[in-house]
């Protein structure tokens, strides 16, 4: 699918001097970044750095205490909820279902924003494509709650893909997955960006971020420490300081992609 309605030269997302507070405690402070159409941005950093909070604010689930967020040049607050649902799809860290929905029914929930529009005619194709891309087509009739954690994670991703929005916001989508499916998820995210979409993905695995992201935003203590290409952001001195553990960064012998290795006694 081509995202022909997205101008590749236009900023898809702009965050300016964002601040988030919780119970009067600052969670994010003075964070600014942009994501253009056709770009995959990885948010990385230690636990508690503010990655998921930043993604929730971008999604519209958290109100900023300071700063602004814009989609396609328009402030987030000026988009109606249904408009946002057609613009960006959010994958949270955990997906739970209280009722015995089948896998196909869960994925079809991603089509809800298009109900009553001409694009509702794409519902069946969108669900089938999302199931195929995530390797879950043979699970379509299974009950979601009966699946393993990794299988549920892939169904949740399929629901997001079925939404067919120009922007994907993915919060730790590889956490419950084995190596094969981690690579599958990052390839899907990479493909979406190459088709003209915008992708923001929270990752703990710095190797995956280095291999697949166009840019990496490194957060620590609620602040943006660095933002740029993987080889510029993932330096040994910077990562050792941010993660409070000595690391070394070596180029992959075949691709040159940075490999981050902890120094062990």
Query: How far apart are the C-alpha atoms of 117 and 59, rounded to whole Å?
Result: 23
The per-residue pLDDT for range 15-73, each reduced to its tens digit, is 999 999 988 899 999 999 999 999 999 999 999 999 999 999 999 999 999 999 998 88
- Measure the CA dihedral 157/166/88/86, to 10°: -110
Q: What pTM did the predictor assign?
A: 0.93
Number of CB atoms found within 10 A of residue 250's CB = 10
Query: How far apart are the C-alpha atoms of 158 and 132, rounded to whole Å?
Result: 9
Judged on CB neighbours under 10 Å (0-12, 13-18, 19+), 65 is middle
The per-residue pLDDT for range 241-251, each reduced to its tens digit, is 999 999 999 99
Cα angle at 34 between 20 and 31, to 5 degrees? 25
Q: Sketch out the chain's domains with CATH numbers.
A: 11-98+166-262 (3.40.50.300)
Query: How far apart are the C-alpha atoms of 116 and 17, rounded to whole Å?
Result: 38
In the predicted model, is pLDDT for residue 7 greater than 70?
Answer: no
- Write the CB contacts of 157 (distance below 8 Å, at least 6 apart in sequence): 91, 134, 170, 173, 185, 188
| pLDDT at residue number 96 | 75
The per-residue pLDDT for range 165-201, each reduced to its tens digit, is 999 999 999 998 999 999 999 999 999 999 999 999 9
Q: Which residues pair with 200 in a beta bridge?
A: 41, 169
Contact 186, 211 (CB under 8 A): yes
| pLDDT at residue number 5 | 46
Q: How far is CA 88 from CA 81, 136, 213, in A?
A: 11, 23, 19
């Amino acid at each position: 699918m081509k995202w022909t309605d997205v101008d590749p030269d236009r900023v898809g997302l702009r965050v300016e001097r964002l601040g988030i507070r919780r119970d009067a405690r600052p969670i994010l402070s003075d964070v600014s970044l942009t994501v253009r159409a056709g770009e995959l941005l990885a948010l990385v950093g230690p636990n508690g750095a503010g990655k998921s909070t930043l993604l929730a604010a971008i999604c519209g689930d958290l109100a900023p205490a300071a700063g602004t967020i814009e989609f396609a040049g328009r402030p987030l607050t000026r988009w109606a909820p249904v408009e946002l649902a057609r613009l960006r799809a959010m994958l949270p860290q955990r997906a739970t279902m209280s009722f015995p929905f089948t896998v196909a029914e869960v994925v079809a929930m991603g089509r809800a924003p298009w109900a009553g529009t001409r694009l509702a005619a794409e519902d069946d194709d969108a669900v089938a494509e999302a199931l195929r891309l995530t390797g879950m087509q043979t699970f379509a009739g299974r009950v979601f709650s009966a699946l393993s954690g990794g299988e549920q994670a892939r169904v949740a991703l399929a629901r997001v893909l079925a939404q067919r929005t120009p922007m994907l916001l993915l919060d730790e989508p590889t956490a419950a997955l084995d190596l094969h499916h981690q690579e599958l998820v990052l390839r899907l995210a990479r493909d979406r960006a190459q088709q003209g979409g915008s992708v923001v993905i929270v990752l703990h695995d710095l190797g995956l971020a280095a291999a697949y992201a166009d840019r990496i935003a490194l957060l620590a203590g609620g602040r943006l420490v660095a933002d740029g290409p993987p080889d510029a952001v993932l330096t040994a001195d910077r990562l050792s300081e941010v993660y409070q553990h000595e690391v070394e960064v070596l180029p992959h012998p075949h691709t040159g992609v940075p490999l981050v290795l902890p120094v062990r006694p």
